[in-house]
Amino acid sequence: MTRLLPDVFRNPTIRGSMLAIFAFGFGGAATSPYQSVIGIRELGLSNGLYSALIFAAAAVNVTVSILLGNLADRLGEYRSLMLTVAVFGIFGYGAVYFFPAQATFILSALVFLPIYNALNSLLFANVRATTNSMARGDVATVNSGVRAMISLSWVLVPGFVGALLSRSESMLPAYLLAGLSCVICLGLMAALLPRHRGTDKAATHHLSYLAALGEVVSPRVFIRVLAISLISSTLHVNGAILPLIVTGAAGGTVGDIGILVGIVALLEVVFIVVWGRAQRIMNHVTALAIGTIIYVVYLLVLGVASAPWHVYVLTLPSGIGAAALISIPITYLQDLIAERPGLGSALISVNIFLGAGLSALLFAFGTGVSSYSGTAMIGAFAGLVGLAMLLFVDGRKRRR
């Protein structure tokens, strides 16, 4: 058990990727909590335009992730593409800070940053190509360790940026910090990720870009992605309703929200590693099923919380379940197109997009027919539906 970790850290690609993905996560963690404040309050975008912009940006990111993933598979190497998209992040974040205007914000959010955010799936694709010769359990452990670095950035960065800018009249410096993190990410990848000859790792059969999109939406792949997205939507539903329940039915304060989110994020870092170890003794579907049930139970109990201490007690199952739901699907989705690490890793972005879209529908429906507490239970039901779909298509086949 303890022998694996030193071996993993001695691999230059995995070590470099973990550091690079922390720097990548820094940019999102520094700006996402303040993005709407900057776009709407400081730059004057309307609520409707901002919502449309965020949706369009997510759609662009999914498309770019698929196209770049397929291109990387055709080239047989990922380093050059990762260096290229990192430059888009530098320009995207930097433009908003140095030239703050509605047009700049829209161009950055719609073009530069969606391309930069494709770095997430490219980094996981690069790691997957490196771990293809490893045992299944080792692959899951590595993916969990890499994913934990993103969670770690969300534990450390938002509070750091908030404290740093607490006396500032503008939150725009958050974009400067994010731009600097892109520079660091670029430097880490250039210095630490080894070069590979493209012909050594190129996919045996090239897919056209249209064929790559077709493989993603093929019934065999899409039904499984949809099942994972339904499960993942519970995370987004929780993100929307937790602050409302804490400050409403549970009788807490705004200060409780920040503390609760920080506690859960810290627990996620710990239990992502635990779930990675668990996948060495059980398959992905079994581990994900256990994690989903834990998170569903958490949402159901959250729906009846009536005091702040109730929600604080729930941070433990929330952290355990969330760690499973954000780490285990990575390896599962990559396995759906295992022979093409770039295209398989692009499914991570597809899952994020679908999960967010489904959660928006669930939130709208839940709040329309019930309370925030009822919406938590509706989100839990959606997670169970996704789990049932997953067990139906893969439960028996994936037992080992």
> What mean pLDDT is reported for the chain?
85
Least confident of 25-39, 97-111, 298-312, 381-395: 25-39
Which residues have C-beta within 8 Å of that of residue 168, sequence separation ≥ 6? none
* Predicted pLDDT at 400: 43
**How high is the pLDDT of residue 96?**
95
Q: How does DSSP assign 23-50, residue by residue?
A: HHHHHHHHHGGGHHIIIIIIT---HHHH
Query: Which H or E run includes 365?
Result: helix 341-369
pLDDT > 90? residue 132:
no
Per-residue pLDDT reduced to its tens digit, 329-361:
988 888 888 778 888 888 888 888 898 888 888
Predicted confidence (pLDDT) at residue 187 exceeds the cutoff of 90:
yes
Looking at residue 304, its pLDDT comes to 92
Task: Identify residue 63 by its one-letter amino acid code.
Answer: T
C-alpha to C-alpha distance for 126 and 204, rounded to whole angstroms: 17
pLDDT at 6: 42
pLDDT higher than 70, residue 295: yes
Q: Are 66 and 350 in contact (CB under 8 A)?
A: yes
Residue 209, pLDDT score: 62
pLDDT, residue 8, reads: 56
What pLDDT shows up at residue 179? 96
Q: Determine the average pLDDT of the residues in 293-310.
A: 94
What's this model's pTM, rounded to 2 decimal places? 0.81
Residue 12 to residues 81, 130, 142, 152, Cα–Cα distance (Å): 18, 10, 13, 20
DSSP secondary structure string, 167-227? T-S-STHHHHHHHHHHHHHHHHHHHHSPP--HHHH--SS---HHHHHHHHTSHHHHHHHHH
What per-residue confidence (pLDDT) applies to 198?
Answer: 53
| pLDDT higher than threshold 80 for residue 215 | no
pLDDT in tens, 354-388: 988 888 888 888 888 888 889 999 999 999 999 99
- Domains present along the chain, CATH in parentheses: 11-196 (1.20.1250.20), 207-393 (1.20.1250.20)
Please state, in angstroms and rounded to a whole number, the distance separating the CA atoms of residues 26 and 24.
5
- Minimum mean pLDDT among 2-6, 44-48, 94-98, 175-179: which range? 2-6
Q: Write down how long the chain is.
A: 400
Largest interatomic CA distance in the chain: 60
Quick one: pLDDT at residue 231?
96
